[in-house]
Structure 1
Amino acid sequence: MTQDYRFLVAESELPEDREARRESVGRSSGETYADTLRALVPGARVEQLKPAEENSPRQEPEVLRRFDAVFLCGSPLHLYEDSPEVRRQVEFMRAVFASGTPAFGSCAGLQVATVAAGGSVRPNARGHEAGFARRITPTPEGAAHPLLSGRPPAFDAPAIHSDEVEELPEGATLLASNGVTRVQAAEIRSGEGVFWGVQYHPELTLFEVAKALRRQAGSLVEGGLVHDRATVGAQAELIEALDREPERRDLAWRLGLDRQVTDPVLRQAELRNFLRHLVAPTRAARGRG
C-alpha cells in the first residue's frame, strides 16, 4: 500500500475511561488503533476523533469522503441505552455510511454500525466473553468472504465484552459465530457505505488483553465468570508472559492458544484483509490509487 493513505480513527471511550486505559497500558483505544494502522501502513496519515463527546465537531459525509477508511474502536458504551453519547456515536456512523467511505470496527464498533443501520444490541445472554473468544467459526458466507481470508475453520481471537448484536440490520451478512456470541463477524451495508466488523479485537496486543482483564476483574467476578480476583490476576500473568515471549509453547498450551492469537500477523488478519480487499479497491475506484 502507498504511504499517502488517510485514515480516521473514531473512539467512543469517555474521558474517564480513556484515562483509565492510558494509566493501565499507556494509550487509549484510539491510540492503539492509530499505532496499529501506522505499523500496517507505514507513512499513513492517521487522524483521531471522539464523536461521542459533546464538543466533538460534527462530521458531514462530504468531509468523511476525504478519508480512505474509518475505524471504530471498542468502548464501554451500551448501544441499547438512549444516552447523548450513544446518539452522537450512532449519528456519526450514519454519516460514515452516507459518505461511502469503507469502515471497520471491533467490539462496540460492530455494535455501533449495527444500530446505525437499523439493527439492535443487547446484554450478552450468555454473560461475559473475556480474554479470548474461543472456537469462532465462519458461516458458509464468511468462509468465502475476504474479511476472513486466511482464517481456519475455527479460531480464537482476543475479546472482552458483555454486550452483543441481537439482530443484524436488513441486508447484513453474518460471517462468523461461536458458542457464546452469535454475531462474531459481519458485513453491513447501508446507503452508499460498506462496513466490515468483528466482535473481537484484532488490533490488541496480548499485553492489552491482560490489562483489560485486570481492569474488569470486579465485573468478571460479579458476573460469575471467575471465582475471585486472584484467578483473574493469575490468568493475566500468563497472558503477559506470553506477550513477552510469544514463542513459549508451554504458555500457549496452558492458555489453550495457537498461532492465530500468538502471531501478530495472523491475529491482525481482519485488519489486513480490510485494507487489502476493501480499502485499496475503493481508493482506486475513487481515482486515488
Structure 2
Amino acid sequence: MAESETPEARHERRESVGRSSGETYLDILGKLAPGAACDRIKPVDADAALPSGMSLAGFDAVFLTGSPLHLYEETAETRRTVAFMRSVFASGTPAFGSCAGLQVATVAAGGTVRANRRGFEAAFARRITPTEAGRAHPLLAGRPATYDAPAIHTDEVEVLPPGAMLLAGNRVTTVQAAEIRFDGGVFWGVQYHPEIGLDEVAGAMRRQADGLVKAGLARGKEDVEAYASQVDALHREPTRRDLAWRLGLDQQITDERLRLAELRNFIGALTRLGREGLLAGDR
C-alpha cells in the first residue's frame, strides 16, 4: 500500500474522518482479501523505505492511494512519488490506483496531467461510461452502461502514455479509468474513489469547502455543510430511499459490494491469473 499523501494531508484527513487514505485502503483490503499480509509505505516522504529484506518484486501487488499532490508541479514530493511508480513498473508487480494513483502512473509512464479543464469534480463522478475496450475489460466487470462513483479532484489526466488503454470517461473528466503498460509492468486505475464510503465523501467535502465555494459549486460553507450532512446521513442509513433520491444516487454507491467493483476485480484477476497472467495481457 503506497500512500502518497503528505504528512500534513495525512493529519488533516485523520482529523476529519479518523484515518489516512492508506489506512482506508488497508481496511478495505482486509475485507476483500482476508488473511493477506499488507505493508504500508509512504513514497512521498523523504525517509520512505520498504520493509527490511523486501523488494517490490516480492509483492503480489501494489496499491496507490489518492493524494493532494499536483503531478505537473516539480517538487521533491512529486519526484519521489513518480520515481517510486517507475520502480513498480520495472519490478513487474501489478498495480492498482485511484484518483492521484492514476495520475502518478500516467506521469511515470510518459503521459501528462493538468488541472481540470471543466472544473472541480466533487463528491461524485456522474454518468461514467465505459469505452468499447472498457466494456470488455475485467477491471470494469459488473459495472452498468453508466454509473456514478465517489470522486473529488481538481486535476485530471491530460494525455495517457503511449500504448495505454482508455476504459471509461464522463462529461467532466475524459479519463476515468485506464490500463497502463510500461517497462514490463501493468497498472489498472480509476480517477474516482471506489475505496471510500459516504462518510469519507462528506469529510472530503468539508475539508475542501473553500475550493467548492470558489468553484461556484456552493454559495457558501453552509451549503457545503448541508450537502455533506445529507451524505453523512445516507452513510448511516444506506437503505434510506428518500436520501438516495435527494442526492441522485443508486446502489452503485450505496451498496459497498457494488461500489468496490474495481478493487474486487483487480484482486480477482490476481487470484485467477497471477501476476504473470496480468503482465501477459490476458483477458
Indicate whether the TM-score tops 0.5.
Answer: yes
Change (3 A) 1:215 1:89: same
CA distance in 2, matches of 1:37, 1:91: 25
1:22 to 14, 30, 43: 14
Q: 1:223 — aligned with what?
A: 215
One-letter code of the match for 1:264? E
1:105 lines up with 2:97 in the alignment: yes
1:246 lines up with 2:238 in the alignment: yes
3-state SS of paired residue (2:126): strand
Instruction: Map residues 57-206 of structure 1 onto 2, 5 A cutoff.
Output: 57=49, 63-206=55-198
Unaligned ranges ≥5, structure 1: 1-8
Change (3 A) 1:82 1:40: same
Q: Note if contact 2:97-2:189 (Cα within 8 Å) is conserved in structure 1.
A: yes
Cα deviation 1:10-35 (Å, max 9, x = unaligned): 01111111011001111100000011
One-letter code of the match for 1:73? T
Unaligned ranges ≥5, structure 2: 279-283
Q: Give the drift of 1:279.
A: 5.3
CA distance in 2, matches of 1:232, 1:122: 25
CA distance in 1, matches of 2:115, 2:276: 40
1:272 to 264, 269, 273: 264
RMSD over aligned CA atoms reads 1.4
Q: Identity over aligned residues, as a percent?
A: 66
Q: Note if contact 1:105-1:198 (Cα within 8 Å) is conserved in structure 2.
A: yes
Q: Give the drift of 1:280.
A: 4.2
Q: Give the drift of 1:257.
A: 0.4
Q: 1:42 — aligned with what?
A: 34
CA distance in 2, matches of 1:184, 1:258: 19
Which of the two has greater strand per residue? 1
Q: Give the drift of 1:58.
A: 6.9
Q: Note if contact 2:24-2:196 (Cα within 8 Å) is conserved in structure 1.
A: yes
Cα deviation 1:128-183 (Å, max 9, x = unaligned): 10000000000000011000000000000000000000000000000000000000
One-letter code of the match for 1:242? L
Question: What is the total number of aligned residue pairs between the two structures?
Answer: 276
